[in-house]
Amino acid sequence: MNRRHFLLAGAGATAMLGAGALARRAFAAEPLKIGFVYVGPVGDHGWTYRHDVGRRAVEQALGSRVETSFVESVKEGPDAERVIRQMASSGHGLIVATSFGFMNATLKVARQFPNVKFCHATGYKRAPNVSTYMARFYEGRYVAGKVAGKLTKSGIVGYIGSFPIPEVVRGVNAFTLALKTERPDAQVKVVWVNSWYDPGREADAAKSLVDQGADIMMQHTDSPAPLQVAENRGIWGVGQASDMRKFAPKAQITAIVDNWNGYYTDQARAVLDGSWKSTDTWRGFDADMTQMAPYGDRVPADVVALGKKIEEAIRSGKLHPFAGPAKDRDGKLRIPSGSHASDGELLGMDWFVEGVQGSLPS
């Protein structure tokens, strides 16, 4: 047959197949398509990795009722907007944006797709179809501080920070406040590496801190490099976002683990049964959004017991990590005794407590 016939036949066949597929679809309930937008690679073994664990948990919990997909290493900015819009216009009913820098992009797209639901991590702007969520990581930092206070000999703690944003500053402060209850003379040295994920630089920073006498390594960056250095140099360290024990079997005291499984599953369920609302979720130990990894084998039993006791106290609400009194480095009283910092104060925290050495933008 000549070309025209061939083309017509092909078109006809395609149409029939398409119709058949559509027909089949109409009978089965469409699974909810959930799209995840990651700022880093899934293999970072930190922040993004834990979000992906959450994604897989949703798949496992809800099976054939959901269909998930993800795009990794999406740069904040115009690219993010395009990716989110792509997801919104390709039938995704729920989109999860896992980085602060996606905020404006998410809101822009959300305005144009009012029927799609969005969850934005660590942001502060909401809309009728945009929720925000974050975990109270600082609760874990407080526990780490207590434990570190008991374990440190030199009284110097190295803290590798990514960027001087409130989330990181909160973590440093919570850690230091706890540290000083056990070791009032202890000092926390903060080094900024200006990146969330740069193993080479994190390793350099860690080495420089150890060389200056630190015997505990804390980090608010995403790679296991600082812990590797801790392992190599024979000091203690605390993992970030996920259990990093396989990188530092001897050195890791514990890790502050992000757990998004429950949150994501709840959100997906809410979309499925139509009860989804725009909310702001900021939970910690009490909802298991923050968890402490199992303590390392070399950690003494009494230290482990203390850690667990503090964790329980925070979980039950008896202990607030930011309970006053707390002074900043200029001696000004920021949290009066008898009260604790409000969520608003925590969200915008831009000052360090006494005992922290590190620069902050003015």
Partner 1 sequence: MNAELATLVAILGTVMTAATPLLFAALGEVVTEKSGVLNLGVEGMMLAGAVVGFVVAASTGSSTLGVIAAAGAGVAISLVFGALTLGLFANQVATGLALTLFGVGLSALVGRSFVGFALAPLPRLDIPGLSDLPVVGPLLFANDALTYLALAMVAVVHYFLFHTRAGLVLRAVGESHDAAHAVGYPVIRIRLCEVMFGGAMAGLGGVYLSLVYTPMWVENMTAGRGWIALALVMFATWRPLNVLVGAYLFGGVTIIQLYAQGLGIAVPSQFMSMLPYLATIFVLVLISRDKVRIRLNAPACIGKTFNPAA
Partner 2 sequence: MWPRLEPRGETSRLMLWLTPLIAVVVTVAVGAALFAVLGFAPLATLYAFFVEPLTTGYGIAEVAVKATPLALIAVGLALGYRANVWNIGAEGQLTIGAICGGGVALAFWGEDAGAIVLPLMLVAGTLGGMAWAAIPAFLRTRFNANEILTSLMLVYVATLLLNYLVHGPWRDPEGYNFPQSRLFGPEATLPIIWEGTRLHIGILIALAVAVGGWVLLARGHLGYQIKVLGLAPRAARYAGFSRDRLIWLTMIGSGALAGLAGVIEVAGPLGQLMPSVSPGYGFTAIIVAFLGRLHPAGIVGAAVLVALSYIRGETAQITLRVPLAVVGVFQGLLLFVLLAVDVLVRYRIRFRADEAAAA
* Site residues (vs partner 2, CB under 8 A): 35, 69-79, 81-83, 85-87, 89-90, 100-101, 104, 124, 163-166, 194, 347-350, 361-362
Residue 68 CB, shortest distance to partner 2, in Å, is: 11
Residues 179-238 that bind partner 1 (CB under 8 A): 189-194, 197-205, 207-213, 223-225, 228, 232
Interface residue with partner 1 among 274, 317, 344, 361 (CB under 8 A) is 361
Provide the minimum distance between the beta carbon of 17 and partner 2 in the complex, in angstroms, as a whole number: 15
Name which of partner 2, partner 1, none residue 238 binds, using a CB cut-off of 5 to 8 Å depending on partner kind.
Answer: none
Question: Which one of partner 2, partner 1, none is in contact with 211 (Cβ closer than 5 to 8 A by kind)?
Answer: partner 1
42 or 313: CB nearest partner 1: 42
Q: How far is the CB of 209 from partner 1 (least distance, A)?
A: 6
Indicate which of partner 1, partner 2, none lies near residue 86 (CB less than 5 to 8 Å, by partner kind): partner 2
Residue 82 phi, psi dihedral angles, 5° rounding? -65, -45
Backbone angles phi, psi at 339, to 5 degrees: -130, 175
Contacts of 64 (CB under 8 A, 6+ apart): 31
* Binding-site partner at residue 225 among partner 1, partner 2, none, CB < 5 to 8 Å by type: partner 1
Number of chain residues interacting with partner 1 (CB under 8 A): 41
Q: Are 253 and 295 in contact (CB under 8 A)?
A: yes
The two tokens of residue 310 are 């503090």
Tokens 């990894």 sit on residue:
293
Question: How far is the C-alpha of 194 from the C-alpha of 147, rounded, in Å?
Answer: 27
3-state secondary structure 212-270: CCCCEEEECCCCCHHHHHHHHHCCEEEEEECCCHHHCCCCEEEEEEECCHHHHHHHHHH
Rg of the chain on CA atoms, in Å: 24
Q: And the tokens for 210?
A: 């150890």
Measured between alpha carbons, how far is residue 64 from residues 30, 33, 60, 67, 96 in Å? 9, 11, 9, 7, 19
81 binds, among partner 1, partner 2, none (CB under 5 to 8 A by kind): partner 2
Nearest alpha carbon to residue 143 among 352, 334, 319:
319
For residues 125 and 147, is the Cβ–Cβ distance under 8 A?
Answer: no
- Contact of residue 124 among partner 2, partner 1, none (CB under 5-8 Å per partner type): partner 2
Strand 117-121 and strand 156-161: the pairing is unpaired
Structural contact between residues 52 and 38, judged by C-beta atoms closer than 8 angstroms? yes
Tokens 């109409």 belong to which residue?
26
Give 54 or 296: the residue with its C-beta nearer to partner 2.
54
| Residue from the set 31, 155, 166, 358 that interacts with partner 1 by CB under 8 A | 358
For the bound state, the minimum distance from the C-beta of residue 263 to partner 2, rounded and expressed in Å, comes to 21
User: Contact letters (x/-) for partner 1, 253-292, by CB under 8 A?
Assistant: ----------------------------------------
| Subset of residues 87 to 116 that bind partner 1, contact rule: CB under 8 A | none
Q: Does 158 bind partner 1 (CB under 8 A)?
A: yes
Minimum distance from residue 246 beta carbon to partner 1 (Å)? 5
Binding site for partner 1 (CB under 8 A): 41-45, 49, 158, 164, 189-194, 197-205, 207-213, 223-225, 228, 232, 246-247, 357-359, 361
